[in-house]
Amino acid sequence: MGGAVSAGEDNDELIDNLKEAQYIRTELVEQAFRAIDRADYYLEEFKDNAYKDLAWKHGNIHLSAPCIYSEVMEALDLQPGLSFLNLGSGTGYLSSMVGLILGPFGVNHGVELHSDVIEYAKQKLDFFIRTSDSFDKFEFCEPSFVTGNCLEISPDCTQYDRVYCGAGVQKEHEDYMKSLLKVGGILVMPLEEKLTKITRTGPSAWETKKILAVSFAPLIQPSHSDSGKSRLVQLPPLAVRSLQDLARIAIRGTIKKIIHQETMSKSGNGLKNPPRFKRRRVRRRRMETIVFLDKEVFASRISNPSDDNNNCEDVEEERREEEEKNVPEMKPDPPVNFLREKVLSLPLPDPLKYYLLYYREK
């Protein structure tokens, strides 16, 4: 599934292509896609294909095509503070992008059938938190993953604002999926070969919209234990943040506001340097005069006093162009993590600084 847009040279170019093709349509979704490099969720030997609009599967590890994730993210209509349930959470790529939008007061849960994929997702999540330049630009709702079959979720579980299922759902399981949704919530899933958006408008009222044709592997039916009973999946409890954690969120938010105000103040203190345009070189040619005398033609060149000056200017212009070509291309400076710099400059004990930075490596 995929191939709807051209491949990119890197993550940003892939996102540009998805925007141009109208798969990514909102700023929030674009920011989330740019913040998390799709290649980071590939095994090293397969990263050459990361920026193609194609699904990828290796063993139990699976990623849908970028155009599919784009449509899913747009259809979910995510907002800060919502609760999200990802059924078939896989590598955690989608859950991590969702977490950037939900913010620190959202809920971000995933259910995955294969325990080895859960471990893979946790490794990728840890790598993102420790090393990504994007992490400090957001307040992140970290996903929590549990192992189990998403068709065996305990009936007494909480309902969610947003639900996504990453495997093909048959008509017989549609009502089960709807039961996981709060009133006013949105469910997105592949239902009978169509990516479908279902909005719960009331206790027993629904609006259904078909988004596009898709091809997903079907949900795996539950396998019963020796006793004949199914193994109920217990979703993570709704955690209450500690006062210490709330303080960290508040301090980071205040520092970000200060950085933003300082940046706006600096940029407003005068006009930026105007862009430099390359001067167009005009070739000057000597004027030639053709004289008709009787039936004979004589061509003569009328000397121009400025000819010598023009020749000098041409030579000088050519010399400057050669010099410009020989100047090595300047690489852009690496991005500066202003939040990190500001935190490290605070008159605080080092352990507190590292706590504010989530013990990140860079």
* Nearest of 86, 111, 100, 229 to residue 162 by alpha carbon: 86
d(C-alpha 209, C-alpha 202), whole Å = 16
Let me know if 129 is exposed, middle or buried by CB neighbors in 10 A (0-12, 13-18, 19+).
middle
- C-alpha torsion 234→170→41→142, nearest 10: -30
* Nearest of 209, 212, 158, 159 to residue 183 by alpha carbon: 159
Which residue among 6, 64, 144, 227 is the active-site one? Answer: 64
Let me know if 300 is exposed, middle or buried by CB neighbors in 10 A (0-12, 13-18, 19+).
exposed
Neighbours of 316 (CB within 10 A): 10
Quick check: is 95 catalytic? Answer: no
d(C-alpha 13, C-alpha 37), whole Å = 11
Neighbours of 304 (CB within 10 A): 12
- C-alpha torsion 178→179→184→186, nearest 10: -40
Active-site residue list? 64
